[in-house]
């Protein structure tokens, strides 16, 4: 299940990536060319006009409520049975799959305290960014819980 998101859905895009889904976010208005290029993905949109067009050409889509991230996530969970576990295996910046790496190889990039306390490090080959499972994971988990609870 791969998603193509309207430019206004940046917040949702980030959360889908936290949950391990492959996503592409549109930089500008969704054009016909873009739709054809990504027609095998599920389009997440808030524009009824785009929805009408996607319907006509038989591309899968979900028309989401504007503005409320909570309502958007809830709809995805209900309609697509979305997994709601933090996976953190995809780069939240670019959507590339992260690679598990040995910390020794990246010692220069890691703050000493982090190096001491953590062993699991992931690397984005696209952004050259290193991720580790620090305190912020707890905060993400709490935020996620508050977003998907009824």
Q: Which residues bind Zn ion (CB under 5 A)?
A: 91, 93-94, 96, 124, 126-127
**Nearest residue (CB) to Zn ion, 51 versus 130:** 130
CB of 90 to Zn ion, least distance (A): 8
Nearer to Zn ion, 43 or 123 (CB): 123
Q: How far is the CB of 101 from Zn ion (least distance, A)?
A: 14
State the residue number with the nearest CB to Zn ion: 91
Tell me the residue length of the chain: 150
Closest distance of CB 40 from Zn ion, Å: 22
Given the complex with Zn ion, which of 64 and 98 has the nearer CB atom? 98
CB of 140 to Zn ion, least distance (A): 17
Which of 14, 39 has the CB closer to Zn ion?
14
CB of residue 126 vs Zn ion: minimum separation in angstroms?
Answer: 4
Nearer to Zn ion, 31 or 126 (CB): 126
Report whether 86 contacts 136 (CB < 8 A): no
3-state secondary structure the chain: CEEEECCCCHHHHHHHHHCCCEEEECCCCCCHHHHHHCCCCEEEECCHHHHHHHHHHCCCEEECCCCCHHHHHHHHHHHHCCCCCCCCCECCCCCCECEEECHHHHHHHCCHHHHHHCCCEEEECCCCEEEECCCHHHHHHHHHHHHHCC
Distance CA 98, CA 53 (A): 34
């Amino acid at each position: 299940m791969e998603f193509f998101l309207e430019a206004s859905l940046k917040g949702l895009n980030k959360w889908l990536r936290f949950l391990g889904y492959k996503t592409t976010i549109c930089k500008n208005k969704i054009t016909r060319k873009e739709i054809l290029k990504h027609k095998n993905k599920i389009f997440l949109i808030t524009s009824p006009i785009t929805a009408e067009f996607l319907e006509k050409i038989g591309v899968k889509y979900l028309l989401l409520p504007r503005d409320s991230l909570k309502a958007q996530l809830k709809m995805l969970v209900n309609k697509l049975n979305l997994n709601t576990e933090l996976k953190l295996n995809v780069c939240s910046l670019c959507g590339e799959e992260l690679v598990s790496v040995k910390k020794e190889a990246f010692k220069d990039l890691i703050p000493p305290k982090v190096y001491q306390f953590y062993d699991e490090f992931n690397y984005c080959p696209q952004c050259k960014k290193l991720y580790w499972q620090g305190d912020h994971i707890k905060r993400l988990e709490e935020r996620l819980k508050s977003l998907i609870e009824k």
